[in-house]
Amino acid sequence: MRPPPHILVVNGIKVRRPVFVLGAPHSGVTLLARALKRSPGFHLTVGRPGVSSVVRTFARRPSIMRSKGGGAVRVLRDALADAWQMVPGACADCPASCREAGAVTGGGPCASPGGVARFGDADPDLLYSAPVLLQAFPDARLIQLIRDGRDVAADMLADRSAMDWARPGMVSDETEFPSPFLGVNSGTHLTRWAGMDPAGKCALRWRSAVRLSAALRKEMPREQLLTVRYEDLAASPEQAVAAVSAFLETRVSAVALYGAPPPKVGVWRTRLKPDEVTLVEKIAREELARLGYTGAPSGSLRR
């Protein structure tokens, strides 16, 4: 007989159908998180230190997630439970991105128990913990963002903090291979990776992220996963957010999208050097074509 599902309670509220936003860096995760965080009834966190530490560890050492005994599930669930606490001083450790997304000023907290019905998280590295998320919260709803890998590379290269992972010194003896986080399949390729142009490293990471996203689409039922194109958020934000609202069966506000820096499509054309474009397209050729970013469009990804 299967044990009953774990019921997590935060500030007296049962966590049901939590929402997790996944994607490669600069794929629009923060943008959609902003819309969710500012919608009535949502308490969504972004980059809380406790959660970030756990998911970054899982990303670098995937074997931890496969260990017996359910330790990884408990650790991630506990980290999220702590991040979702709504008590005085709860927002003190929130990064600027989380506070800005929720328009938080002063000491917070960004939400009060009386107004919260749904919980969620949009940590930048949450994608790599998707298997554990689904074990911890079997009724979770996942929204994954897909964006042109060339634009992702261009924005990553312009974001110094986003490139910390690409420093050779970030690879330790504990790094496991294949490494979806680095986009490297074997430790024997590390020397080549270390000497690679940063644009190539960005392409490897984007390629690995969209492969993980494709695997999720095959494994998860339609009612639990929605894929949204960043380009749709840019071209038709209200329509894209309407699809998110229908998927979550609750109203998500599109107003927050208009208060943020507008999504930009095609920035790679002016930001990437010709040799960088060539390198990114060489590394991610198959995924770019499959997703319709080069050649004939492959159709909408929205589910």
pLDDT per position as a tens digit, 125-144: 999 999 999 999 999 999 99
Mean pLDDT of the chain: 87
Structural domain boundaries, residue 217:
17-290
**pLDDT tens, residue by residue, 7-52:** 899 999 999 999 999 999 999 999 999 999 989 899 999 999 999 9
Tokens of 101: 């997304």
Mean pLDDT of 205-212: 96
Q: What is the pLDDT of residue 245?
A: 95
Residue 50 DSSP one-character state: H
Residue 9 lies in a domain: no
pLDDT band at 178 (very low <50, low <70, confident <90, very high): confident
Q: Which residue has the tokens 């500012």?
A: 38
**Is 6 inside any structural domain?**
no
Give the helix ranges, DSSP H, for the chain. 29-37, 49-60, 71-83, 96-101, 130-136, 149-157, 190-194, 198-219, 230-235, 237-248, 255-259, 268-271, 274-283, 285-290
19-23, strands of its sheet edge to edge:
42-45, 118-121, 19-23, 141-146, 225-229
Least Cα distance to 16 among 84, 98, 73 occurs for 84
Does residue 298 lie within any of the structural domains?
no
User: What token pair was written down for 64?
Assistant: 């931890």
Instruction: Name the domain count of the chain.
Output: 1
pLDDT band, very low/low/confident/very high, at 1 (cuts 50, 70, 90): very low
Q: Determine, yes or no, domain membership for 33.
A: yes
Inside any domain, residue 218: yes
Please check whether residue 3 lies inside any domain of the structure: no
The pLDDT, as a whole number, for residue 93 is 77
Judged against a pLDDT cut of 50, whether residue 299 lies above it is answered with no
Is 176 a domain residue?
yes
CATH number at residue 37: 3.40.50.300
What percentage of the chain carries pLDDT values higher than 70? 90
Q: Is residue 297 part of a domain?
A: no
